[in-house]
């Protein structure tokens, strides 16, 4: 579905954006692939890998999702938008709340309005497990963003723009991952552990991109899609990276949970299960769509909750070492 289309990635110079660009250029033949971000240095560095000379379809646009006028300009003629731009560092969000709100919430509103008015066909917004029952500002802004994109379907009217959300957990290989931090601390001989019982969902960058592209194809608008991915205990993670180090328990940091969740008990009332993912349907009175049910989706049991400590899929130490290329 991407062949001959114009695709735009917000936050396109981030970890997700670069991997998404790599996969799209390798497998598809888009008319245009637009990288939209606010950092000129990162765009320059990315252009050394994906040059406009080697890939004539690629375009680099400097801009910020806070700037509605710039979005109106760059969305002109775009078929699909993958929205990966966000401020996501939890401590920084607590110290700079208005900045995070302007990017994650106001930026989402700007994208919705620009997409509708420019008649973008589909928008997929990336979410996070931090958005389910959030306890920090970052998670709260992402939950608000999720709600905005889902409700955006109520505003599109005859324009036909459709908005969906993809939510997944920690990404192996991303810049914000704990893995590079543990790797660096390995040199000191001591690994700080917040809580030995802590668990997290894990997914690789490539798996995340694959799932987003799949969702772009199958989404109808209004749904929140969650992949089935494994969990891992923090101690197993530490042993995979630094088996010979000492482990020092330092306590859970402000804004952290002991376990993450991606589907709450309340959301489960509208959740369909598939072999490899879940779909949380919207609560619109007018939203009647049988596609997911005809594709084999089954309602989850009452009281279902998809949390990292209740998972039936777990990463082993050996599997993580393989996925993260840890030697």
The answer to whether position 327 is within a domain reads: no
This prediction's pTM: 0.94
The DSSP bridge partners found for residue 204 are 172
pLDDT of residue 287: 64
Per-residue DSSP letters for 257-305? -SS-EEE-TTGGGGEEE-SSEEEE----SS----HHHHTT-EEPPTT--
Per-residue pLDDT tens over the stretch 217-226: 999 999 999 9
The answer to whether position 249 is within a domain reads: no
Per-residue DSSP letters for 77-130? T-SEEEE------HHHHHH-HHHHHIIIIIHHHHHHHHHHHTT-SEEEEE--GG
The answer to whether position 181 is within a domain reads: no
Q: Which residues are catalytic?
A: 130
- Rounded CA-CA distance 284/311 in Å is 29
Return the CATH number at 128.
3.40.50.720
Specify the number of domains making up the chain.
1
The answer to whether position 89 is within a domain reads: yes
The answer to whether position 244 is within a domain reads: no
Q: By C-alpha distance, which of 65, 58, 67, 11 is closest to 39?
A: 11
- Segments forming the whole domain that contains residue 221: 6-169+204-229+265-307
* 132, two tokens: 């389910």
User: Given pLDDT bands bounded at 50, 70 and 90, which one contains residue 1?
Assistant: confident
The answer to whether position 214 is within a domain reads: yes
Q: Quick check: helix, strand or coil at residue 213?
A: helix
Per-residue pLDDT tens over the stretch 267-325: 999 999 999 999 999 987 766 666 666 677 899 999 999 999 999 999 999 998 888 88
The answer to whether position 318 is within a domain reads: no
The answer to whether position 133 is within a domain reads: yes
Per-residue pLDDT tens over the stretch 59-105: 999 999 999 999 999 999 999 999 999 999 998 999 999 999 999 99
Q: By C-alpha distance, which of 305, 112, 299 is closest to 221?
A: 112
């Amino acid at each position: 579905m991407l062949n001959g289309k114009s695709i735009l990635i917000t936050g396109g110079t981030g970890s997700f954006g670069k991997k998404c660009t790599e996969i799209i250029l390798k497998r598809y033949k888009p008319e245009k692939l637009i990288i939209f971000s606010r950092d000129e240095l990162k765009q320059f560095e990315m252009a050394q890998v994906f040059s406009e000379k080697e890939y004539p379809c690629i375009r680099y646009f400097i801009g910020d999702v806070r700037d509605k006028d710039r979005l109106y300009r760059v969305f002109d003629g775009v078929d699909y938008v993958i929205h990966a731009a966000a401020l996501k560092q939890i401590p920084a969000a607590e110290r700079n709340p208005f900045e995070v709100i302007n990017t994650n919430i106001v930026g989402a509103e700007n994208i919705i309005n620009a997409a509708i008015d420019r008649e973008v066909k589909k928008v997929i917004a990336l979410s996070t497990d931090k958005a389910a029952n959030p306890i920090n500002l970052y998670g709260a802004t992402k939950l608000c963003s999720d709600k905005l994109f889902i409700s955006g379907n109520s505003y599109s009217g005859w324009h036909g723009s459709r908005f969906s959300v993809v939510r997944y957990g920690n990404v192996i290989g991303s810049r914000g991952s704990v893995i590079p931090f543990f790797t660096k601390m390995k040199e000191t001989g001591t690994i700080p552990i917040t809580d030995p019982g802590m668990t997290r969902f894990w997914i690789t960058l490539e798996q995340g991109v694959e799932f987003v592209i799949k969702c772009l194809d199958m989404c109808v608008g209004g749904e929140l899609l969650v992949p089935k991915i494994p969990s891992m205990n923090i101690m197993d993670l530490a042993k995979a990276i630094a088996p010979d180090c000492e482990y020092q328990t330092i306590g859970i940091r402000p804004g952290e949970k002991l376990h993450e969740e991606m589907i709450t008990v309340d959301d489960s009332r509208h959740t369909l299960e598939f072999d490899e993912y879940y779909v949380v349907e919207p609560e619109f009175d007018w939203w009647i769509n049988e596609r997911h049910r005809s594709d084999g989706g089954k309602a989850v049991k009452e009281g279902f909750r998809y949390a990292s400590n209740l998972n039936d899929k777990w990463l082993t130490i050996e599997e993580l070492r393989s996925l993260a290329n840890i030697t």
